[in-house]
Structure 1
Amino acid sequence: MAPFASHPVDTTNVSSYFSSFPVKSCELDALPAIQQGLNDTIYGCTTPGSKERKKAEYRHTNPAGNIFGLSLALCEADRVGYVVKFIEFLCIVDDVMEDLPFGEACTEHTILRQALHDSYDEHQYGGRAVSLMRNFLYELRIELASMEDPSTSLLLKTLDTSLRDRDSNDSEFLTLAGYIPYRKMNFDYDFVCQLLRWAMCIPPTIQDDPLARSYEHIIGVIVGLTNDYFSWEMERLEPTDRIRNAVLVLMKEHSVNEMQAKPMLKEVIIEEERKARELMGEIMDLPEEHEPLKRYVAGMELFAAGYSFWCATCPRYHRPQKDEGFVEQAKL
C-alpha cells in the first residue's frame, strides 16, 4: 500500500517550535487507524483509573495534532497501526518504569522481554503493571508472525535488545558527549529506526549504508535532545531516583543554572539540524539508484519534524497533568 495522504502544517504561529524542518501531517486520513492502534494499546496495557492510563490518555490531547499523524507521513498505510502500537507500548513502559527504583525497573524489563521469545509462558505476574504489557507484546508478536514478512524477525530482535538496554545504566552523566549515546538508547532509537524502515518498506540493506547511518545518528541526537528540552520542566519535578535530561547534564558540565542550560541545549539542537540539512542535500544529489535511501532520509526528516512540533505544542510538557478535570475529558 501507499502512505496516507499528507498535508503541510503551518508552524509559523507556534513560537515554541524552533526547528527548521518542515512539518507534514497524515492525520486527516490516518486518524481511524491511529485511534484503533491507540485504543488497543492503552486499554490492553493499562487498567482503568491507573496513573499510566491517565498519562497515556493525556498524551493524546494535543490540539495542534496527533503525534503519530505528525510523524508517520511516509509510512505505508497498512503498517501505521502497528507503528502506533509499538511506540505507544514503549511510551507506557517508560511511564511505568520511570517511577520504579532502578533495580526493579531492570527486573520488569526482563519480564517484558519474555513475550518476544518462544519460551514465553502463561504466568500472569498478577498485580503488576508489567503483566498486561507482557501479554500485549506477546499477542502483537503472534499477530506480526502471521504476516510472513522476513524483516519482522529483525524488527522483534531489535526490540528485544532495546528492552534489555534501555534502562540498564545507572550512571550519572557529566558531559553531553557522554550522555548522547545513552539518550539514543533510552529513546529506543535503534528500534525506532528499524520500525520506520519496516513501516516504509525500505530494504533492510539500507542500514548498512554509511550515509544512512550518519543521517540516523544526527536525527537521533535531534529527537532525543528536543524531547529533553521540552520535557525538562515536567521531569525535574518527578519523584524518581534518576533524572535523565540533557539540561541537567549541561548544568553539571558547565556549572550553570537551568535558565542558562536550556538555551545552550537549544543551540546544540539547531546545530545538529544544520548538519542534517547539509547531509540530506548530499544524499538527494545522489543518482537515481539511491531512491530507497532518499525516501528513507525524507521519512526520517518528517519523523523528526513532526515529533519536534508535537513536543513544542503538547499539553503533556506545557500544561502539567495536575488538572485532573482536563485528564478526565481526554477522548481517543
Structure 2
Amino acid sequence: MAPFPSQPVDTASIPSYFSSLPVWSCEQDALPTIRKALNDTIYSCTAPGSKERKKAEYRHTNPAGNLFGLAFALCEADRIGCVTKLIEFLCIVDDVMENLPFGEACIEHAILRQALYKTYDDDQYGGRAASKMKSYLRELRIELISLNDPNTSLLLKTLDTSLRDRDSDDSEFQTLAEYIPYRKTNFDYDFVCQLVRWAMDIPPVVQENILAKSYEHIIGVIVGLTNDYFSWEMERQQPTDRIRNAVPVLMKEHSISEVQAKSILKEVIVHEERKARELRSEIMNQGEESEQLKRYVTEMEIFAAGYGFWCATCPRYHRPQKEEYL
C-alpha cells in the first residue's frame, strides 16, 4: 500500500528550527489513523489521571504538527498505525522508567520484555510499574504477527534488544564521543530504523548496504543530539538519578557553561547535517538498482527533519507541564 499524501511544511516562521533539512508531513490525510493508534496506546498503557497519561496527552498538543505525521511521511498507509503504536509505547515506557532508580528500571524492562515471547503469555506478573504496558505489548505482538509479514520476527527481535539495552548503563560520560553511542541506544535508534524499513517494505539487503549504514549513523547522531538540545531545559529539572543529555557532557568535557555547551551542541548538529546532505547526494547519484536505498534514505531525512521540527516547536520542551498538573 502506498504512503499517505504528504506536503512540504513552511518552517520559515519558526526561528527555533535551525535545521537546513526540509520538513514534510502526511498529517492532513493520516491524522485519523494516527489519533486512533495514539488513543489505543495511551489509554491501554496508562492509568486515568496518572502523570504518565498527562505527559502522553500533552506530548501531542503541538499546534505546529503531529509528531508521527512529520516523522514518518513515507511509511505505508496501512502501517502508520502500527508505527504510531510502537513509538508511542516506547515514549510511555521512557516516561515511566526515568522516574525509577536505575536498578529498578532494569528489572522492569526485563519484565516488560516477557511480553514479546509466547512462552510468557500465562505469566501475569507486571512488576512495580510495567503491568499495563506488558499487557499492551503482548496484544501488540499478537497483532503484528497476524499481519503475516516475514520481516515482523526481526522487528520484534530488534525491539527486544532495544528494551534490553536502552537503560542498561548508568555510566557518567566524560566526552561527547563516548556519549553518542549510548545516546543512539537510549533513543531506541536501531529499532526505529528497523521499524521504518518494515513500514516501507524495504528489502533486508538495503540494511547491509555500506552507504545505508553510514547514513543511518549520521541521522542517529542528528536526532539524538537534536532531542538533547531542545529537551535540556525540561530534563535538567527532572527528579532522577541519571540525567542523559549531551549538554552536561559537553560542560564537563570542556569546562564550560550551559550556554556555551548548547552553542557547541548546535554546531555539532549542523555539521552532521552537512555530512548527511553530502552522503545523500552521493546515494541519489547511484543507478536505478538502488531505488529502494534511495526511498529509505529519503524517509530517514524526513524522519530527522520532522522530528527536529517537532522538538523545536512542541510544548513538551518549551512549556513544560507544571508539577501541580501532573
- State the TM bucket, normalised to the shorter chain: over 0.9
Tell me how far apart the structure 2 counterparts of residues 121 and 141 of structure 1 sit (CA, whole Å).
11
Residue 222 of structure 1 contacts residue 273 of structure 1 at CA under 8 Å; is this kept in 2?
Answer: yes
In 2 relative to 1, CA 322–241 (structure 1 residues): closer, same or farther, beyond 3 Å? same
- Find the counterpart in structure 2 of residue 161 from structure 1: 161
- Find the counterpart in structure 1 of residue 288 from structure 2: 288
In 2 relative to 1, CA 111–267 (structure 1 residues): closer, same or farther, beyond 3 Å? same
Residue 111 of structure 2 contacts residue 126 of structure 2 at CA under 8 Å; is this kept in 1?
Answer: no
Tell me how far apart the structure 2 counterparts of residues 62 and 27 of structure 1 sit (CA, whole Å).
12
Residue 108 of structure 1 contacts residue 130 of structure 1 at CA under 8 Å; is this kept in 2?
Answer: yes
Asked if residue 226 in structure 1 is aligned to residue 231 in structure 2, the reply is no
- Find the counterpart in structure 1 of residue 191 from structure 2: 191
1:91-114 Cα offsets, whole Å, 9 max, x none, are: 000000000000000000000000
Tell me how far apart the structure 2 counterparts of residues 168 and 258 of structure 1 sit (CA, whole Å).
27
Letter in 2 for 1:31: L
Letter in 1 for 2:159: L
Tell me how far apart the structure 2 counterparts of residues 50 and 123 of structure 1 sit (CA, whole Å).
25
Tell me how far apart the structure 2 counterparts of residues 45 and 271 of structure 1 sit (CA, whole Å).
38
Q: What are the residue-to-residue correspondences of 1:192-211 with 2, within 5 Å?
A: 192-211=192-211
Residue 126 of structure 2 contacts residue 134 of structure 2 at CA under 8 Å; is this kept in 1?
Answer: no
1:14-33 Cα offsets, whole Å, 9 max, x none, are: 00000000001100100011
- Find the counterpart in structure 2 of residue 179 from structure 1: 179
Tell me how far apart the structure 1 counterparts of residues 277 and 145 of structure 2 sit (CA, whole Å).
37
Asked if residue 267 in structure 1 is aligned to residue 247 in structure 2, the reply is no
1:146-188 Cα offsets, whole Å, 9 max, x none, are: 1111000000000000000000001000000000000000000
- Find the counterpart in structure 1 of residue 48 from structure 2: 48
Asked if residue 107 in structure 1 is aligned to residue 107 in structure 2, the reply is yes
Distance apart, 1:198 and its partner CA: 0.4
1:38-87 Cα offsets, whole Å, 9 max, x none, are: 00100010000000000000000000000001111100000000000000
Tell me how far apart the structure 2 counterparts of residues 126 and 215 of structure 1 sit (CA, whole Å).
38
Query: Once superposed, what is the RMSD of the aligned Cα atoms?
Result: 1.2
TM-score by structure 1 length? Answer: 0.96
Residue 64 of structure 2 contacts residue 310 of structure 2 at CA under 8 Å; is this kept in 1?
Answer: yes
1:211-250 Cα offsets, whole Å, 9 max, x none, are: 0000000000000000000000000010000000000100
In 2 relative to 1, CA 164–309 (structure 1 residues): closer, same or farther, beyond 3 Å? same
Asked if residue 69 in structure 1 is aligned to residue 80 in structure 2, the reply is no
Residue 2 of structure 2 contacts residue 77 of structure 2 at CA under 8 Å; is this kept in 1?
Answer: yes
- Find the counterpart in structure 2 of residue 151 from structure 1: 151
Distance apart, 1:128 and its partner CA: 3.5
Aligned length: 326
Residue 100 of structure 2 contacts residue 240 of structure 2 at CA under 8 Å; is this kept in 1?
Answer: yes
Letter in 2 for 1:73: A
TM-score by structure 2 length? Answer: 0.98
- Find the counterpart in structure 1 of residue 312 from structure 2: 312
Unaligned runs of 5+ in 2: none
Residue 46 of structure 1 contacts residue 129 of structure 1 at CA under 8 Å; is this kept in 2?
Answer: no
Unaligned runs of 5+ in 1: 328-332
- Find the counterpart in structure 2 of residue 89 from structure 1: 89
Distance apart, 1:127 and its partner CA: 7.7
**SS of match in other structure, 1:16:** coil
Identity %: 77
**SS of match in other structure, 1:3:** coil
**SS of match in other structure, 1:2:** coil
Letter in 2 for 1:175: T
Distance apart, 1:125 and its partner CA: 3.4
- Find the counterpart in structure 2 of residue 254 from structure 1: 254
Tell me how far apart the structure 1 counterparts of residues 305 and 266 of structure 2 sit (CA, whole Å).
15
Distance apart, 1:205 and its partner CA: 1.4
Letter in 1 for 2:294: K
Tell me how far apart the structure 1 counterparts of residues 209 and 48 of structure 2 sit (CA, whole Å).
45
